[in-house]
Structure 1
Amino acid sequence: MSKLKVVTIGGGSSYTPELVEGFIKRYQEFPVKELWLVDIAEGKEKLEAVGALAKRMVKKAGVPIDIHLTLDREEALVDADFVTTQIRVGLLEARAKDERIPLKYGVIGQETNGPGGLFKGLRTIPVILDICKDMERLCPNAWLINFSNPAGMVTEAVLRYSNIKKTVGLCNVPVGMRMGVAEMLDVDADRVQIDFAGLNHMVFGLEVYLDGEKITAQVIDKLSSGESYTMKNIVDQGWEPDFIKGLKVLPCPYHRYYFQTNKMLEQEKTDYKDQGTRAEVVMNLEKELFNLYANPDLDIKPPQLEERGGAYYSDAACNLMNSIYNDKRDIQPVNTRNNGAIASIPNDSAVEVNCVITKDGPKPVSVGDLPVAVRGLVQQIKSFERVSAEAAVTGDYQQALLAMTINPLIPSDTIAKEILDEMLEAHKYYLPNFFTSVQS
């Protein structure tokens, strides 16, 4: 077997031990020879802590994976086979601003939805596109596996504004939904399959199967009777029973921001008063995690990592890379070019949908059209993603304002402009391309 080189940009992330665990578990099928963990100067301390833990993990497992730590992205990318991106431009301090500022205007402040989603995209997309340019020079045959949020918007930008064709966006929400349904049914998750279709953080479960038998109605009944699933970073508000019965498909946890906007806004206000933004909560979680990582006796992924809202991201990434490398042709929900899978979304746009994973990448499974009850919302968010990606690339103020205004969580163009202007100033340092356009 060939020996693989994997580069993880954002290698100092608290999620990296899960990635390393995934490579260890799959080593016989997916023989990683070199794992390069890359970060920026501000993340050097975390990179060193995570890297030391990674080295202890592979030593304990007895697998010959060479771990390299570097702040030099170009050095790492040379001849890579897979490149994973898990970056947070502006660190958690930027996320705190994304969550705090909109609340001042009576608008939900959330990492990937509404104003927060827009600004995370504005900061992240230019950096990802720079990584793409480096890949074109240094590892043109590598696969780019992105799980930096907002993953759907980032995938849209890579497909439209880079020459990287071998790219896949990844999210842990479908994994969490499948595991949540399995828990509701009290069965092993491997027995549950779900037909996913929609967009990142806007994906629906169209049908649910247990051992190949369709059980969608049974799961809908459980949701309408008070059982539910969510994520660590999204409060479970329950669902109005008749609404869920009328919807007839499974919403993802992020749909609460659109279908329960007032409830979620009030919950955010309460949480902010009691414990600060979610970013500040995560900062405290990360302090605990990195204190654990620094323990020289720790040589496994600590269970506390699952308290982060993005648990299972990295394992899903390992599963995806393994399936591409081995041409497994199994079914996985990923973000990729639509190519006709969802009838009401342009063929060249990014969607989140079940795909057959081959050595040539994901092949979307056609679902026809989405149910009319959810079609319009999905199309509106796709418009938001498209316009946001264009604003990120061009630094066009009017496109950014347009994106902000058409998002369904924003009540008016006036409020959109007020939030936009304050957030632009707050994130000025991380928007050089954009801010130069504003000044000129």
Structure 2
Amino acid sequence: MKLTIVGGGGFRVPLVYGALLEKKDRLGLEEVVLHDIDASRLERIGAVLDGLAEEHGERLPFRFTTDLVDAVQDADFVFCAIRVGQLEGRVVDEDVPLGLGVLGQETTGPGGICFALRTIPVMVRLAETMAKHAPNAWLINFTNPAGMVTEAIQQVLGDRAVGICDSPSGLCRRVAAAVGRDPGDLWFDYFGLNHLGWLRGVRDGSGKQLLDGLLEDDARLETFEEGRLFGGEWLRSLAMIPNEYLYYFYYAADTVSAIRSSSAPRGAFLLEQQRAFYAQDGQPGGEALASWRATRHDRERTYMAEARNAAGDESEHEGDANGGYEHEAMAVLEAIALNSRAVLILNTANRSALPFLDERAVVEVPCVVGRAGPVPMAMGQVPSHARALVEMMKDVERTTIDAALLGSRELAVKALSLHPLVPSVNTARAIFDGYRRRLPALQEAFA
């Protein structure tokens, strides 16, 4: 089996390599190729991987390339996690709307739209390269905004493009712990779009509904992030537990105030942190691994910090030894390669999972995954307010995809204007023009 990692110089690649070390014999991995447009980043991450291999006592061979065709040629699976515009672009994504009193966040709101505008054309070119040079490969996409990107590349690769996110599974594991059960013994009724989903039910093998009791127990709700973030009163009003990213919709003004009063948005923090990490090139494997782990600890500690600050939650982000996008990616790869028919929450074409959306709309729902890829499960009707928000955001996503592929300022402004977190058309125009002024790639694409 040949596995290619596009974005192979990315900071989180060691997490994937660590997961691969555990699975290489079971999966029959023969070749791992790391692709990146920046050779120096590949070298830096390669040293970290050497350190992991030394620590593990066994090595999974890998090689580097900056040639995309070489990287994907005859691949069986392609993992992709790229950041078009790098962290400098993220800083702009967050800063421009905040200057106008609007949420500045990486994947939600205007920041997510701008991120998508410059990412989707690059991802479509990757999909076209795969269609030509690796037509039988599966593209497992972690690139954000994951739902929009997956829908765009499915126009080229169809169902062989699968989007993943660790937020839904992380929520499910935390809820399982709160009810004192093993998540493997439970069924999680989760539906929505990427970073816009709700957990509306948890059942055990006998069919007993466990979520109702949890929602009535404030003490147990306080034991996990989403319970503290949203609070028992609001969760009982919804009769569901939202994905953490819905905090930005339900508490938008509070979040904007929290971000603007902080010393720096998270993107600026990560930019300085990772600049320092990548500048330490030349360290041997053990030292590189130690440096990476220290940097990762500070990175994970600040995840969703702006939402926690707005909610008055002073605790740090709860790491998950069984979570992370690397575990989600490996679960999809295993399920397809071994035809295990595992149930995973994924981003894939709707078919008929959510009956109010068309069959090609990419949704985030439980899927049965085997050799034929993900088959989404029917979720039926959903609460009216969730349906309305999903329908609105799907329209925003599709307008953004069209704007990105056509280079249309009119459609980009329309997508921003339709987003419920943008207060007016004039604000949308100001946000887009602010992005164009500060991002040369957008100036060129939207000339």
Could you tell me which residue of structure 1 aligns to residue 118 of structure 2?
A: 123
Could you tell me which residue of structure 1 aligns to residue 10 of structure 2?
A: 13
SS in 2 for 1:393: helix
Residues 273-294 of structure 1, C-alpha deviations (whole Å, 9 max, x = no match):
x2x1211222344357655994
C-alpha displacement of 1:26: 1.6
Counterpart selection for 2:244 from 253, 276, 280: 253
Could you tell me which residue of structure 1 aligns to residue 99 of structure 2?
A: 104
Could you tell me which residue of structure 2 aligns to residue 267 of structure 1?
A: 258
Counterpart selection for 2:440 from 428, 432, 438: 428
Could you tell me which residue of structure 2 aligns to residue 405 of structure 1?
A: 417
C-alpha displacement of 1:185: 3.6
Counterpart selection for 2:346 from 328, 334, 353: 334
User: In structure 2, how many angstroms separate the alpha carbons of the residues matched to 1:147 and 1:396?
Assistant: 26
User: In structure 1, how many angstroms separate the alpha carbons of the residues matched to 2:380 and 2:215?
Assistant: 22
Determine if contact 2:222/2:228 at 8 Å carries over to the other structure. Answer: no
Q: Cα RMSD over matched residues? A: 2.5
Determine if contact 1:122/1:431 at 8 Å carries over to the other structure. Answer: no
Determine if contact 2:47/2:284 at 8 Å carries over to the other structure. Answer: no
After superposing on structure 2, the runs of 4+ consecutive aligned residues of structure 1 that deviate more than 6 Å are: none
Could you tell me which residue of structure 1 aligns to residue 168 of structure 2?
A: 174
Determine if contact 1:10/1:38 at 8 Å carries over to the other structure. Answer: yes
Could you tell me which residue of structure 2 aligns to residue 286 of structure 1?
A: 274
User: In structure 2, how many angstroms separate the alpha carbons of the residues matched to 1:391 and 1:135?
Assistant: 23
Determine if contact 1:178/1:193 at 8 Å carries over to the other structure. Answer: no
Map 1:188-227 to 2 at 5 A: 188-210=182-204, 213-222=208-217, 227=222
User: In structure 1, how many angstroms separate the alpha carbons of the residues matched to 2:357 and 2:158?
Assistant: 22
User: In structure 1, how many angstroms separate the alpha carbons of the residues matched to 2:43 and 2:124?
Assistant: 26
Q: After alignment, is 335-344 or 294-303 more displaced?
A: 294-303
Over 3 Å counting, the alpha-carbon distance change for 1:242 and 1:30 in structure 2 is same
Over 3 Å counting, the alpha-carbon distance change for 1:331 and 1:165 in structure 2 is closer
Determine if contact 2:196/2:390 at 8 Å carries over to the other structure. Answer: yes
C-alpha displacement of 1:62: 4.9
C-alpha displacement of 1:221: 2.4
Determine if contact 2:44/2:281 at 8 Å carries over to the other structure. Answer: no
AA of the residue aligned to 1:27: K
User: In structure 1, how many angstroms separate the alpha carbons of the residues matched to 2:275 and 2:174?
Assistant: 28
Counterpart selection for 2:397 from 385, 404, 414: 385
C-alpha displacement of 1:295: 4.8
User: In structure 2, how many angstroms separate the alpha carbons of the residues matched to 1:340 and 1:116?
Assistant: 30
User: In structure 2, how many angstroms separate the alpha carbons of the residues matched to 1:408 and 1:416?
Assistant: 11
Residues 374-420 of structure 1, C-alpha deviations (whole Å, 9 max, x = no match):
11011111111111011111111111111000001000111111111
Counterpart selection for 1:136 from 131, 135, 154: 131
Q: After alignment, is 281-290 or 64-73 more displaced?
A: 281-290
Determine if contact 1:194/1:207 at 8 Å carries over to the other structure. Answer: yes
Determine if contact 1:13/1:46 at 8 Å carries over to the other structure. Answer: yes
Over 3 Å counting, the alpha-carbon distance change for 1:331 and 1:15 in structure 2 is same
Q: After alignment, is 203-212 or 403-412 more displaced?
A: 203-212
Determine if contact 2:229/2:247 at 8 Å carries over to the other structure. Answer: no
Residues 356-382 of structure 1, C-alpha deviations (whole Å, 9 max, x = no match):
011110000111122213110111111
Determine if contact 1:5/1:35 at 8 Å carries over to the other structure. Answer: yes
Determine if contact 2:215/2:232 at 8 Å carries over to the other structure. Answer: no
Q: How many residues of Structure 1 are paired with residues of Structure 2 in the alignment? A: 422
AA of the residue aligned to 1:414: N
Could you tell me which residue of structure 1 aligns to residue 31 of structure 2?
A: 34
AA of the residue aligned to 1:21: G
Could you tell me which residue of structure 2 aligns to residue 302 of structure 1?
A: 293
Determine if contact 1:157/1:389 at 8 Å carries over to the other structure. Answer: yes
How much identity, in percent, do the aligned residues show?
29
AA of the residue aligned to 2:293: P
User: In structure 1, how many angstroms separate the alpha carbons of the residues matched to 2:224 and 2:367?
Assistant: 23
In structure 2, list runs of 5 or more residues that go unmatched: 305-322
User: In structure 1, how many angstroms separate the alpha carbons of the residues matched to 2:295 and 2:367?
Assistant: 31
User: In structure 1, how many angstroms separate the alpha carbons of the residues matched to 2:178 and 2:406?
Assistant: 46
Could you tell me which residue of structure 1 aligns to residue 44 of structure 2?
A: 49
Determine if contact 2:408/2:446 at 8 Å carries over to the other structure. Answer: no
Residues 104-125 of structure 1, C-alpha deviations (whole Å, 9 max, x = no match):
1110000011110101000110
User: In structure 1, how many angstroms separate the alpha carbons of the residues matched to 2:139 and 2:426?
Assistant: 38
User: In structure 2, how many angstroms separate the alpha carbons of the residues matched to 1:171 and 1:346?
Assistant: 22
User: In structure 2, how many angstroms separate the alpha carbons of the residues matched to 1:332 and 1:303?
Assistant: 31
Could you tell me which residue of structure 2 aligns to residue 61 of structure 1?
A: 56
Determine if contact 2:48/2:286 at 8 Å carries over to the other structure. Answer: no
Determine if contact 1:223/1:239 at 8 Å carries over to the other structure. Answer: no
C-alpha displacement of 1:187: 4.9
AA of the residue aligned to 1:94: G
AA of the residue aligned to 1:26: K
Q: After alignment, is 313-322 or 104-113 more displaced?
A: 313-322
User: In structure 1, how many angstroms separate the alpha carbons of the residues matched to 2:132 and 2:26?
Assistant: 28
- Are 1:148 and 2:143 an aligned pair? yes
Determine if contact 1:222/1:228 at 8 Å carries over to the other structure. Answer: no
SS in 2 for 1:28: helix
In structure 1, list runs of 5 or more residues that go unmatched: none
Over 3 Å counting, the alpha-carbon distance change for 1:284 and 1:208 in structure 2 is farther
